[in-house]
Chains A and B, each alone.
Chain A
């Protein structure tokens, strides 16, 4: 008799703990799913489409969102890409009302890029490298949105992957992975260096491939750009540290040429493992930005 009562009590406590933990998790999940409000948009903002186009190429959106057939030059989506444990199909981000982002408001786009959060509260899978894009300045993100709106709308339905459990867990992962705020210039460094650091860290998302990750896929900030195994195929993205010391590039100008022309000018290590697409996109940036990236990279020991 006494024995039985004790068992009952034990279960009650466990249930209570579980219920509390469940409520805690549900509460935390809800908090982590709150989008940025309209007030996050700057009041005096005026779109700069030209700058948006620059962000589009710095960000390499077309590498993943490239369309198929007649739409290869547009981010109409639909091509499979490999991710750890499976595949994913990047969606259509042309401004089509039904199948693209035609009906999105600027705040929806800001939430996607800064928080990895969809207009309906979807937590995006970080194959969409928002963990880097979140470093981008609000104006740059909004300019990019304005640029996307100028593209030809393509009707191409690419539904997001159903992965409810993953997306639930991602809410918590993002809490660890997202940067606390957009990029701020480092005092004591000049404008060129800071521009380069910004482009590499934010839109360029170079760290997503070139920085090693820990067991739960968080970037290891202590080994920033130190080279890492790729998540999309076998092989590594090489280290971008000590490029000067290792005599990979003669000087800033040499690296700038490498980023601009890649293998077209005999720079051999800029093609495989996805780098070829990155380099093609970088080649569309003005020389000043390429010089900034090269200046920043060559400064890393």
Chain B
């Protein structure tokens, strides 16, 4: 009984500690780049929907969203100061040990986002979206983003 209570209390205490750690990480470069990435995603999703036909093609939206993605990627590149791979983050230490490759993929992603912004007809959309998603988002996350941990 006493043991069970102790365990329960420890659990509560641990949960409290965890929440605290999360709150600490809510400012600074980690939280900022995560927010930038979230914005990138929310601008990317409508374009994917257009490719799938779940949303009508609209060149103005493509241009606007792709330009935001390019700008946010550019901004996020500065939000990876050395050593910011601890705490509530999925950034891998390879970002700094293989920084040239990280930067190269970032540049490719920015380039592909800019190319996407210039898409003016529906048949150009799929290859442009997939180039950004594959050679940008995937290429980087595959190498430089940690898998989730339970």
**Which of the four size classes fits the interface of chain A?**
20 to 34
Q: Is the CB of B150 within 8 A of A276?
A: no
Q: Which of A227, A268, A273 contacts B150 (CB 8 A)?
A: A227
Residue of A nearest to B149 (CB): A235
Task: Tell me which residues from 121 to 150 in chain B have a Cβ below 8 Å from any Cβ of chain A.
Answer: 129-130, 133-134, 137-138, 141-142, 145-150
Contacts of A166 in B (CB 8 A): none
What residues of chain B lie closer than 8 Å to A234, measured between beta carbons?
146-147, 149
Number of interface residues of B (CB under 8 A): 21
Residue of B90, B137, B142, B147 near A237 (CB, 8 A) is: B147
Q: How far is the CA of A227 from the CA of B147 in the complex (A)?
A: 12
Q: Taking CB as reference atom, which chain A residue is nearest B138?
A: A263
Q: Are B147 and A265 in contact (CB under 8 A)?
A: no
Complex Cα distance, B90 from A234, in Å, reads: 11
Give the tally of cross-chain contacts (CB within 8 A). Answer: 69
Task: Establish whether residues A264 and B134, one from each chain, have CB atoms under 8 Å apart when the complex forms.
Answer: yes
Q: Which of A233, A238, A262, A268 contacts B146 (CB 8 A)?
A: A233
Query: B41 at the A/B interface (Cβ < 8 Å)?
Result: yes
Chain B residues with CB under 8 A of A262: 134, 138
> Do B133 and A230 touch (CB < 8 A)?
no
Shortest distance in angstroms between A213's beta carbon and chain B's nearest beta carbon? Answer: 15
Known: A264-B130, A265-B51, A266-B44. A238 touches B148 (CB 8 A): yes
Check: B45 CB closer than 8 A to any chain A CB. Answer: yes
Which chain B residue has the least Cβ–Cβ distance from A283? Answer: B134
Kindly identify which residue among B130, B142, B148 contacts A276, using a CB–CB cutoff of 8 Å: B142
* Contact assessment for A236 and B148 in the assembled complex, using a CB-CB cutoff below 8 Å: yes
Query: With A263-B134, A266-B44 in contact, do A236 and B150 touch (Cβ < 8 Å)?
Result: yes
> Do residues B138 and A271 form an inter-chain contact, with CB atoms below 8 A?
yes
Chain B CB within 8 A of A277 CB: yes
Which B residues lie within 8 Å of A224 (CB)?
none
* A272 proximity list for chain B (CB < 8 A): 90, 141-142, 145-148
Nearest chain B CB to A42 CB, angstrom units: 39
Would you call B147 and A263 a contact (CB within 8 A)?
Answer: no
Additional A-B contact list (16), CB under 8 Å, known A264-B134, A265-B48: A227-B150, A233-B147, A235-B147, A236-B147, A261-B133, A263-B133, A263-B137, A264-B130, A265-B133, A266-B48, A266-B137, A268-B41, A271-B137, A271-B138, A271-B142, A273-B147
A binding-site residues for B, Cβ under 8 Å: 227, 229-230, 233-238, 257, 261-266, 268-269, 271-273, 275-277
